[in-house]
Amino acid sequence: MTKLSYIAFDGTRFDVEAENGSTVMENAIRNAVPGIEAECGGACACATCHVYVDEAWTDIVGEPEAMEEDMLDFAFDVRPNSRLSCQIKVRDELDGLVVQVPERQG
């Protein structure tokens, strides 16, 4: 299991145990993290699973692929550390990952 932390927009922290191979979005939904909508169910087609990757983790998480980059154009308040959480697969090296939920989606 890999530990992930979500910081909701109001500052509430959600620490969860995630299975490798699942996505950061799926674990947010499973643990009722507010602000992650994931309307398309993880198909990289909605941009309502937008998160900000904590600065300490951006290199390890890596850059978005072209399709995700295009979809991020539809997200609200995109920043250099923006990612679509359905496109981040949980793996051992992400143990301790922190992501923040934006003020709103879309």
How many residues touch ligand FES under the rule CB under 6 A: the total is 15
Cα 16 to its chain centre, rounded Å, is 13
Nearer residue to ligand FES within complex by CB, 11 or 102 = 102
Backbone angles phi, psi at 86, to 5 degrees: -75, -10
The residues in 65-94 that bind ligand FES, with binding defined as CB under 6 A, are 71, 84, 86
Interaction between residue 25 and ligand FES (CB under 6 A): yes
The residues in 28-67 that bind ligand FES, with binding defined as CB under 6 A, are 38-40, 42-49
The CA distances from residue 15 to 59, 79, 94, in Å, are 21, 23, 13
